[in-house]
Structure 1
Amino acid sequence: MPVAPLPPLDRLDAARAVLAAKKRLGLHWDKIAETVGRSLEWSTSALLGQQPLSREQAEAVGSLLDLDDDVVDALTLPPVRGESAVDMTDPLVYRLKEMVQVYGATISELAREEFGDGIVSAIDFELDFRRVEDPKGDRAVITLNGKFLPYRVW
């Protein structure tokens, strides 16, 4: 009986291949980000499938991680964003969701008071993640820096 061809890889398949290669080679995201030529945070997001990669960037990562051509091709597909790209049961992701549940209304109210009626954009956006040593236990400082977009009145 003939074997059916495998379906083409998608961005999430490519992300799993990147994670496996990263682990196999013992690399850190900062080294991979240097190869991509972008920030640590953006490059990590891109290689997890949530930002676009150029052919040149995908090939550079493919070379560094010794990825198959089909994985490199999949890295150039359109990004996959939203809940389908994130494991919402991951404890850290779940806790971030909890932070928004607890402080989301506060952030929304403070933004409305400071800027007016609108949203903070994830399109014109920067993320910074850093570790801060603290004698009571190290801290994770996450800075979400998005452009404010007022709602339009017409």
Structure 2
Amino acid sequence: MSETYLLHDEIHPASPLDPDNRDPMRINKHLQLDFFNVIAEPDTSAYNFEVLHKLLHQVYHYTKIFIYRFLTILVGLPLMLCWGLIFGIYTFIMIWLVVPIRRLSQSFIAECGFYVQTLSDAVIAPIHRSMGQMFSGIRMSLSKVDDHSTKQIQV
């Protein structure tokens, strides 16, 4: 089912034949954390020693890998259990509760709409047409009248 959302020209799902492609949907494209994407020396005036640069690259690379793998074992496994439970419950609720209730509601609303339309055509529309006929004969004209009468206050 998830393959139907793939753009077949650009992205291919991960397969056992390509174990290096672990982000086939490119959801973590923004995580470019390679040494050269984090530490950059822009020109020769800012270069450090070549040996030190290679050593820093190795330290960064292996530290990042070690910490990532350690945290994956320590925190990632329990999180994957939690995420699996959450998405499993969510999928179950959507498939077995929400979608059938939505379908039932849509069907019920459509059926009620039929009766409301029929009632409106049979009762409400004739009443409004009759009232429109009654008030359609009313004509109004405005004229200006000068009233110079004095007003008196009674006590």
TM-score normalized with structure 1 length: 0.20
Q: Pick the structure with greater CA Rg.
A: 2
Higher fraction of helix:
2
Higher RCO structure (Cα 8 Å, ≥6 apart): 1
TM-score normalized with structure 2 length: 0.20
